[in-house]
Amino acid sequence: MPDGGDVVVIGAGQAGLAVSHELSTRGEAHVVLERGRVAETWRRRWDSFCLVTPNWTVRLPGGWYEGDDPDGFMGRDEVVAHLERYAAGAPVREGVEATALRRANGGFALETTAGELAARAVVVTTGAYQRPHRPPAAATLPPDLLARDADDYRNPDALPAGAVLVVGSGQSGCQIAEELYLAGRDTYLACGRAPWSARYFGGRDLLWWVLETGFLDQTVDKLPSPEALLAANIQASGYGGGHDLHYRTLRALGVTLTGHFLGASGHTARFADDLARSVAWGDARRGELKGLVERTCDARGWEPPELPDPEPFVADGAPEELGLERFGAVIFSTGYRPDYARWIDVPGAFDERGFPLHGDGASTAAAGLYFAGVHFLRKRKSSLLVGVGEDATLVAESVVGTGD
């Protein structure tokens, strides 16, 4: 283990490995601690999981995608393999979990499962998916009904027989609901507010457009409200080569849509009468993206792509109650929350939602403490394979600069 004066990076996902790469290219000695294995979070995704972003968006510093299918979407195991190759030669210590961090002697004291160590600088890269979030209503489900987070879902056959309720309709919730239905399960999706878009338009993938228009470069200060930090990503799928996946496609497939989950009384689940409003909200966000695309095309002298308005959505018939006796499981895909404050004892380091207070990844509460891979750390793309490298470079430069 390192001793005083070293730089410690915590987490060996894409953010930690990108920071490690940038530190190494600058000659900065460091160690990367990983509680599991390299790319542990990716390893925990379900069996058929694949990227929602095309392979060409994998742009880690020194680790861009170099395969023969740039427009495809890597599956879980392919992503893990890419990150394992990227980690080759990096000073990663697998199986070492950081359990507590505090300021000490002008630097930091870090408790780990392999003992305590001191460091002059610590870069926390524990990822955007730290603590699965369940709404309070989850506690009202009957105890004899299996309830799992999306993190623990593997495949339809691993669930008990019966219908399945998926609560949460972001990218993961929609993809899991689609897979369950196609596997022959009677599937229900409790819907909330989520943006959506066509997967392809104007001869380009959705990700090309959100990069070209600057959508993914949107900074935190441009968000309409602090709550927007926790908003769902755009509904879409990379499975099977990529396709549209949103409320209309799921309902046309045969998935039963409901309003958001209110809770259960005994074996009766209740849902809000707000499905139409949730769909309208997503339609409005889709309209905003369409406008951004059209303005970008106009500014660059391009012919704007055809983006016809969606068919009207009629929510009549959405169930407001369901008997749970015939259900085998409930899958919660209701997002994640930061978990830093549970183990980082640095007063003033986090806001009321648990996100780091920082400037370009450098903590404003403690010199020498840094963050990367955080959802919306600097920009909308900060935690993504297409954008995390940008933040990693800034953080590494700052770490090296403070050590001079």
Find tokens 């001191």 and name the residue.
118
Cα–Cα distance list, 230 to 85, 160, 161, 225, 376 (Å)? 32, 31, 33, 10, 9
**Residue where the block lists tokens 């878009």:** 197
Topology (CATH level 3) of domain 134-332? FAD/NAD(P)-binding domain (3.50.50)
| Higher per-residue pLDDT: 231 or 119 | 119
pLDDT digits 0-9 by tens, 275-327: 999 999 999 999 999 999 999 999 999 999 999 999 999 998 899 999 999 99
pLDDT digits (tens, 9 = 90+) for 125-182: 998 778 999 999 999 999 999 999 999 999 999 999 999 999 999 999 999 999 999 9
Average pLDDT (207-229) is 90
What the block records as the tokens of 117 is 């160590």
More confident residue, 241 or 5: 241
Given a contact cutoff of 8 angstroms between Cβ atoms, the answer to whether 165 and 190 are in contact is yes
Provide the pLDDT for residue 4.
41
Q: 363-382: b or e for each residue (b if 16 or more CB lie within 10 Å)?
A: beebebbbbbbbbbbbbbbb
Residue 195 pLDDT: 96
For the chain, give the percent of residues with pLDDT over 90.
93
**Residue 5, pLDDT score:** 54
Per domain, the residue ranges of the chain are 7-130+338-402, 134-332
Question: Can you give the pLDDT at residue 404?
Answer: 61
Query: Which residues have a Cβ under 8 Å from the Cβ of 82 and sit 6 or more positions away?
Result: 58, 63, 65, 74
The mean of the pLDDT values for the chain is 95
Rounded to 5 degrees, what angle do the CA atoms 388, 394, 397 make? 135
**Predicted local distance difference test score (pLDDT) of residue 373:** 96
Rounded-to-integer distance, Cα 312 and Cα 80, Å: 41
pLDDT cut 70: percent of the chain above it: 98
Please report, to the nearest 10 degrees, the dihedral formed by the alpha carbons of residues 240, 243, 247, 251 taken in order. Answer: -60
Residue 64 has pLDDT above 60, yes or no: yes
Q: Please tell me if the domain spanning 7-130+338-402 has the same topology as the one spanning 134-332.
A: yes
CA distance 84 to 86: 5
Phi first, then psi, for residue 395 (nearest 5°) are -65, -45
Mean pLDDT over residues 43-71, rounded? 97
At residue 225 the predicted structure's pLDDT band, cuts being 50, 70 and 90, is confident
The pLDDT confidence band at residue 15, using thresholds 50, 70 and 90, is very high
CATH 3.50.50.60 describes domain 7-130+338-402: yes
Which pLDDT does position 129 carry in this prediction? Answer: 77
Residue 298, number of CB atoms within 10 A of its CB? 10
Q: Write out pLDDT tens, residues 334-392.
A: 999 999 999 999 999 999 999 999 999 999 999 999 999 999 999 999 999 999 999 99
Three-class SS string for the chain? Answer: CCCCCCEEEECCCHHHHHHHHHHHHCCCCEEEEECCCCCHHHHCCCCCCECCCCHHHCEECCEECCCCCCCCCCEHHHHHHHHHHHHCCCCEEECCCEEEEEEECCEEEEEECCEEEEECEEEECCCCCCEECCCHHHHHCCCCCEEEEHHHCCCHHHCCCCEEEEECCCHHHHHHHHHHHHCCCCEEEECCCCCECCCEECCEEHHHHHHHCCHHHCEHHHCCCHHHHHCCCCECECHHHCECCCHHHHHHHCCEEECCEEEEECCEEEECCCHHHHHHHHHHHHHHHHHHHHHHHHHHCCCCCCCCCCCCCCCCCCCCEEEHHHEEEEEECCCEECCHHHCEECCCCECCCCCECEECCEECCCCCEEECCCCCCCECCCCCCCCHHHHHHHHHHHHHHHCC
Tokens coding 251 = 């309902």
> What is d(CA 397, CA 400) in angstroms, rounded to the nearest whole number?
5
Q: Is 70 exceeded by the pLDDT of residue 249?
A: yes
pLDDT at residue 230 in the model: 80
Radius of gyration of the chain (CA): 22
What does the pLDDT look like over 364-378, one tens digit per residue?
Answer: 999 999 999 999 999
Q: Model's pTM, two decimal places?
A: 0.95
